[in-house]
Copies of this chain bind each other. A is one copy, B any other.
Amino acid sequence: MTSERQAEALRALLGSDRPARAMGAHSPLSARIAEETGFDCIWSSGLEISAVQAIPDANLLTMDHYLRVAADMARAVNIPVLADCDSGFGDVNNVYHMVEQYESRGIAGVCIEDKQYPKLNSFADGKEQHLASAEEFAAKICAVKAAQRSASFVCVARTEALIVGAGLDEALRRAEIYERAGADALLIHSKARTPEEVLEFTVKYSGRLPVVVVPTSYPSLHYTDLAAHGISMVIYANHGLRSCIAAMRATMERIVDDGTTHFLEPELVSIGDVFAMQGVDDMLRRSRNFEAAGARYVEGCAPLSRPNAAVEIKAL
């Protein structure tokens, strides 16, 4: 899918009555599983991508790295990819450059947050976190909108006002500013253990932007609550990876303890299942067709005129 069609699909999800479900992913494989499970779009998760590298989620990995993973995922699935772009990897110039790159690689939209560069994961303790000024962040939103080529490309503005303890009023003030500046959706982030403050935000927010939530710290939020509060999208940002870590630990411990993988096999997907996710059979079928066609063209037994040949090959 081109970036433009992906962007249109993401925009449609945000505009729909039914809350969209986004699933955090960190690889084409995890994105494909999310797609097969029925999720509506992929959240190219900064936490997951940095965790897979065993490196803190603190802008140590570069835009090049996050971009490559997001682009690889966009190639592998037919649902749109919304990219977690932290605070935009620097200033307005970095944001402009970033959007040129992300859009050209098939990404449907970017989410930028109003913290300073380098950002630190919102759930990390041990360091005071600071908001960027509203002016600076509004300028970044302008940079996104000016850089995008397709009208449909999506800019999700994420405010960390609740994360840094700036309060609900500041979150609402920023929501209004970001909407004016051109944002296409608003992500209200929270690290509270319950959804109250996020839900209170949705009640008081009078703007027109679709609202996105990320119930990592408040897992009790139920899907049925979303529509009731006018929430447009929910992002399950890191649960896939957290299940992977648990599974790999258990599996590897079992291998050492059992001395064999025999008893583990029923809990694993088969090699054939892995191959299917890689598209091995599709590849082999295609290659047999190409080789047969190649032989035919040489034998002279298929002196097709070019237009017909193109049609025929296209159907392989």
Binding site for B on A (CB under 8 A): 2, 21, 23, 27-34, 36-39, 47, 50-60, 62-65, 72, 75-76, 89-94, 96-97, 100, 104-106, 117-118, 121, 123-124, 126-127, 133-143, 145-146, 151, 177, 179-182, 208, 215-217, 219-224, 236, 238-253, 255-256, 259-262, 264-265, 267-271, 273-275, 277-281, 283-287, 289-291, 293-295, 297-298, 302-304, 306, 309-310, 313-314, 316
State the Cβ distance, A194 to closest chain B Cβ, in Å: 11
Q: In the complex, A285→B124 CA distance in Å? A: 13
Closest to A23 in B: B252
Indicate if the CB atoms of B294 and A140 lie closer than 8 Å: yes
* Chain A interface, >50% SS class: helix
Indicate if the CB atoms of A294 and B136 lie closer than 8 Å: yes
Between A33, A54, A117, A135, the greatest number of chain B beta carbons within 10 A of the residue's beta carbon is seen for A54
A260: contacting residue among B219, B253, B302, CB under 8 A: B219
Q: In the complex, A143→B146 CA distance in Å? A: 37
Q: In the complex, A297→B177 CA distance in Å? A: 6
